[in-house]
Amino acid sequence: MANYYFLATLLPRLQIGEPPEISFDEFDQLLSDNLSASDYAKTSTIRNFYDIYNLRSYWKGEPLDHAGNFNSSELEEAMVTRTMLPPYVFQFLDKYESKEERLRHFPELLSTFYKIEVSRSTGFLKAYLMLERELRLVLVAFRTKKLDRDLLKELQYEDPEEEIIAQIIAQKDASQYEPPPKFEEIKFIFEKYSNDPIEIQKALAEFRFYKIEEMLGLDMFSIDRILGYMAQLLIVERWQHLNKQKGKEIVDSMLKDIS
């Protein structure tokens, strides 16, 4: 396994709440210039996650996340030519031909992404994808309780015999959801910020950031550290965006009170 001593020394420290000293585009250029082809391909797996969500944004006519591998025109070309995107995406497109069907069944595509990408990944990348998948499932459980939705319908694309799915389903009739111990902090986040979606997202960003730090430990120069830095950089950028959005809400509220 290659060690990237030079690249690691170029990367500025990341901290939640502080603007990153390097943009994602600048970071990606560093990776392109310094990683081996096989290691650089691993970064595409993280970006594939954003491509999946960008497909939904594309179908809804919303702006795309810059963290994906493709811009809007490239994403459209990929769907037309059936290239660049993973095969399971095209299987989904064939199964659901209309935009409305694709949006309605989007959780199925997301579920497939996690199942396939986790199974083919190793090291930090595998652990990171598993964290994101399990966190997503825990969030589904909390939101289903809060919005009084049908839990079985929300989890229809998951394996009910899988441990975390079974744990969630077992509580479908309970008054509140109790997550697995490693996600106990998520319960406190929802209780503290139950009426403030932006603060919930900011707290979840912090949770992800420090969970990644725990995974990486003292490993400083491997591809795992580089991939972890990528994931954390995207989280820091998102936190900054949420902070600006929160500030805008506060200003809008003040102006409303004055008028």
pLDDT tens, residue by residue, 75-107: 999 999 999 999 999 999 999 999 999 999 999
What local confidence, expressed as pLDDT, does residue 249 receive? 63
To 5 degrees, how large is the angle CA 64–CA 241–CA 128?
Answer: 75
- Residue 125 CA to residue 131 CA, distance in Å, equals 10
pTM of the model: 0.90
**Any idea where the domains of the chain sit in the sequence?**
23-120
The C-alpha atoms of residue 64 and residue 35 are separated, in whole angstroms, by 26
Beta-carbon count within 10 A of 157 CB? 14
Residues 185-241: tens digit of each pLDDT: 999 999 999 889 899 999 999 999 999 999 998 778 899 999 999 999 999 999 998
Q: Provide the 10 A C-beta neighbour count for residue 69.
A: 19
What is the reported pLDDT for 259? Answer: 42
User: What integer pLDDT is reported at residue 33 of this predicted model?
Assistant: 94
Measure the CA–CA gap between 49 and 178, rounded to whole angstroms. 27
Angle 50-53-56 (CA atoms, 0-180°, nearest 5)? 150
